[in-house]
């Protein structure tokens, strides 16, 4: 009887120790995710394995990258890695028109322009899911989607809106890739991303 009691107490103690260790290690893991900056979260996203499923989700990730470009804490090395992430969202035709080195230079120039003009994007709004426009290209049967984005921009204390439409094409793997970014009617091209 005494041996049975000792065995039961030992099993309970081992269970408590294992359970405590499990809970402690889970809290450490979740704590590390919370400590990542937005830039780090964007950079660690594996787009090969976890590509956004819808055109709207692609555009939302595009916006996260754009916001990271203009974060004051972004380093030159991080900008290069962010450009690499962005290139994974681009359709092959978009990449042909904007090879990595050309696109990188445009991003760096845009970042510098924002700094010089004391410009910042204060908010980005992607259209609702039911407002995404889907069409079929009559020329080749490609599936296309158009997603509207509104940017609220602060330029040295002056607030303006910039409106863009992002065009996407579904590739042979079912991934929506960006084919173009255009400024919507009534806006100047200097706010275009």
Comparing 8-12, 44-48, 118-122, the range with the smallest average pLDDT is 8-12
Q: How far is CA 192 from the centre of its chain?
A: 18
Mean pLDDT of all residues belonging to the chain:
85
Q: Tell me the pLDDT tens digit for each residue of 166-187.
A: 999 999 999 999 999 999 865 4
- Give residue 4's pLDDT: 59
The model's pLDDT over 44-56, given as tens digits with 9 standing for 90+, comes to 999 999 999 999 9
Question: Domains in the chain, please, with CATH?
Answer: 38-187 (3.10.450)
The pairing of beta strand 158-170 with beta strand 143-155: antiparallel
- pLDDT confidence bin for 35, thresholds 50/70/90: confident
């Amino acid at each position: 009887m005494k041996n049975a009691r000792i065995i039961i107490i030992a099993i309970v103690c081992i269970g408590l120790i294992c359970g405590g260790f499990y809970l402690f290690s889970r809290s450490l893991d979740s704590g590390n995710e919370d400590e990542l900056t937005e830039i780090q979260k964007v950079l660690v996203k594996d787009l090969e394995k976890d590509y956004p499923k819808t055109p709207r989700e692609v555009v939302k990730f595009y916006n996260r990258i754009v916001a990271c470009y203009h974060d004051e804490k972004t380093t030159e090395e991080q900008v290069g890695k962010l450009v690499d992430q962005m290139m994974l969202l681009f359709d092959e035709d978009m990449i042909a028109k904007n090879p990595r080195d050309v696109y990188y230079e445009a991003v760096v120039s845009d970042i510098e322009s924002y700094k010089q003009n004391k410009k910042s994007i204060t908010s980005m709004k992607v259209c609702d899911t039911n407002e995404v426009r889907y069409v079929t290209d009559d020329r080749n049967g490609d599936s296309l989607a158009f997603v509207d984005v509104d940017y609220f921009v602060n330029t040295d204390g002056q607030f303006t809106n910039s409106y863009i439409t992002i065009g996407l094409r579904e590739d042979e793997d079912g991934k929506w890739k960006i084919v173009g970014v255009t400024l919507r009617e009534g806006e100047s091209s200097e706010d275009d991303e």
